[in-house]
Structure 1
Amino acid sequence: MENEIKKEKNMSPITSIIIVIALITGTSLYTVRLPKNQETETLLPPTQLNKNTISFQNGVELPVRWKDMGVKMVEAGVIDKAKFENLYSQRGGLSETEKKLLTSNNNENLVITPENSGVILNMLWAFGLANKNPILENGPMMDKRYGGAGNFASTGGWTLSKGGAMGHYSMHSFIKLTNEQQDLVERVAKNIYRPCCDNSTYFPDCNHGIAMLGLLELMASQGVNETDMYKFALKVNALWFPDQYESIKTFFASKNMDWNTADPKKILSSEYSSASGYQKVLSQIKPQPQKGGAGCGA
């Protein structure tokens, strides 16, 4: 097996992030990594989300109570509150509701909207990175060929903690899953892809992947069933990648497939939601105007 390393296209603002294409039995595996021996800022400014029919402009209430999770992560140092607030002070500041996610012990269900999707992404990124889970400890992230879990964008790109990100990687038991819940998370994670790379959530090498892993853990711990996990995962992905899912919806329409009745599990599969699957979709429809993207940074 040979690895070809090249810079990802259209990511000039993130000169530090490279894409490793591992050719495994004829299948391309895209892995977002950071170069060794280089301290680089990977936090990106927010993208302007495209207001479209999939992006749920009124927001989506997720079936998970946040409770005091933000407080716990701040106390553990996974989130440095000063760094987090400083980042958003450059973007107009956090809303009162967003501040409560870090400071309140009694938060209700998370609500994600086009406006706060970046904040929710970063909250879930921190949780997915830090919560102790066998996927992080025994899964593809630990494959020796990648030189250690600390070389990925999902780990090296998290600079909003006290101390290095790897000092928190799978180190905090914020929630503990039963064996049945863990099996559910692993099964669903292996079937959820994202348009920024060709890896499933089971290989959370970028911020979107590890944030989705965190969301799956929270949903499983609070009794959400498998069908609903896929349903809400699709809604969240559509908010994180609005233009991409508009294009996928356009493709469905061109094939006389009803988006509203399509199986979320199928839409989230590698056939449509992986980077390579999405490129195949684009090749079969008229070019769509791209008003916003989703970078792998906070």
Structure 2
Amino acid sequence: MKNKLKEIFYAGLIILVALTLGLAPVTQKEIFSLKWKNLGLQLVEAGVIDQEKFENLYTARGGLSESDKEMLYGRNNRDFKITPENSGMALHMLWAFGLANKNPILEDGPMMDPRYGGAENFASTGGWTLAKGSTMDHYSMHSFVTLTDDEQALVEKVSKGIFRPCCKNSTFFPDCNHGMAMLGLLELMASQGATEDEMNQKAQEVNSLWFPQVEKKSAGCAA
């Protein structure tokens, strides 16, 4: 009996030490979740994503996982979760969606400022080489998600306050892949009833995955 009590005591002590040192297993936190439905398949069918080019890209990286394939080809993705494991795939999918989904930010915002020589000259457009045909054939050309006036106003407001460290521009000026992907994320969130606070919080969390080297203190990034 005495030995049994000792075993219980030492087992409890080991667990306590593990918890104190952060060695105990923890449940992976879900950074973000929303309805993705069949948007990946729509992007492929519209030619925004060329299936062969996209799969070749990921073949060089070890191939698409089953969850990646579901995100790309699934017909009823109820949850779109951005985690450390799939943040790269999510970046590509949201980049394609943000670039192609018809939105006034792309048509009337800073991307169209004449001093830049055309929207095709940015990393977010010229860098998307995974489409069928010219990338600009898809730029703000597809109505995958249509926002109400209130939802659009919310996207514009939030996008002006979310910055990224790679180029220090706001999401309202989505001139790089991360900015275009974030625009797509905000559009999806607004269309599904997210509040301003929820959009800012989720944007901060997702930016922490895309830019893990930068410590975030707010949705804006001053780094």
Q: Same fold (TM over 0.5)?
A: yes
Alignment equivalent of 1:132, drawn from 88, 102, 125: 102
* Greater helix fraction, Structure 1 or Structure 2: 2
Alignment equivalent of 1:231, drawn from 192, 201, 205: 201
Q: Which amino acid aligns with 1:268?
A: A
Partner Cα distance (1:181, 1:122) in 2:
24
The answer to whether 1:84 aligns with 2:54 is yes
The verdict on how the C-alpha distance between 1:59 and 1:150 changes in structure 2, with shifts beyond 3 A counting, is farther
Q: Which amino acid aligns with 1:105?
A: R
Post-superposition shift, 1:164?
Answer: 1.2
What SS does structure 2 have at the residue aligned with 1:224? coil
Which position in structure 2 is the counterpart of 1:121?
91
Partner Cα distance (1:63, 1:183) in 2:
22
Equivalenced residue count is 198
Which position in structure 2 is the counterpart of 1:175?
145
What SS does structure 2 have at the residue aligned with 1:83? helix
Which position in structure 2 is the counterpart of 1:281?
none
Work out which of the two has the higher radius of gyration on C-alpha atoms and give 1 or 2: 2
Cα deviation per residue 1:82-117 (whole Å; 9 max; x = unaligned)? 111110111111110110111111112111122211
Post-superposition shift, 1:72?
Answer: 0.5
Cα deviation per residue 1:58-95 (whole Å; 9 max; x = unaligned)? 25252420000011110000001111111011111111
TM-score by length of 2: 0.86
Alignment equivalent of 1:204, drawn from 148, 153, 174: 174
Q: Which runs of 4+ in 1 moved over 6 A?
A: none
Which position in structure 2 is the counterpart of 1:147?
117
Unaligned runs of 5+ in 1: 1-55, 250-266, 279-298
Q: Equivalences for 1:2-17 in 2 at 5 Å? A: none
TM-score by length of 1: 0.65
Cα deviation per residue 1:24-58 (whole Å; 9 max; x = unaligned)? xxxxxxxxxxxxxxxxxxxxxxxxxxxxxxxx992
Q: Which amino acid aligns with 2:157?
A: R
The answer to whether 1:268 aligns with 2:181 is no
Alignment equivalent of 2:66, drawn from 70, 76, 96: 96
* Greater strand fraction, Structure 1 or Structure 2: 1
Alignment equivalent of 2:81, drawn from 92, 111, 124: 111
Cα deviation per residue 1:200-225 (whole Å; 9 max; x = unaligned)? 00000000000000000000000011
Q: CA RMSD in A?
A: 1.4
The verdict on how the C-alpha distance between 1:161 and 1:168 changes in structure 2, with shifts beyond 3 A counting, is same
Partner Cα distance (1:104, 1:88) in 2:
17
User: Are 1:175 and 1:221, in contact at CA under 8 Å, matched by a contact in 2?
Assistant: yes
Unaligned runs of 5+ in 2: 1-25
The answer to whether 1:62 aligns with 2:32 is yes
Which position in structure 2 is the counterpart of 1:285?
none
Which is worse superposed, 208-217 or 92-101? 92-101
Partner Cα distance (2:30, 2:121) in 1:
33
Cα deviation per residue 1:127-153 (whole Å; 9 max; x = unaligned)? 000000000000000000000000000
Sequence identity of aligned pairs in percent?
A: 63
The answer to whether 1:166 aligns with 2:136 is yes
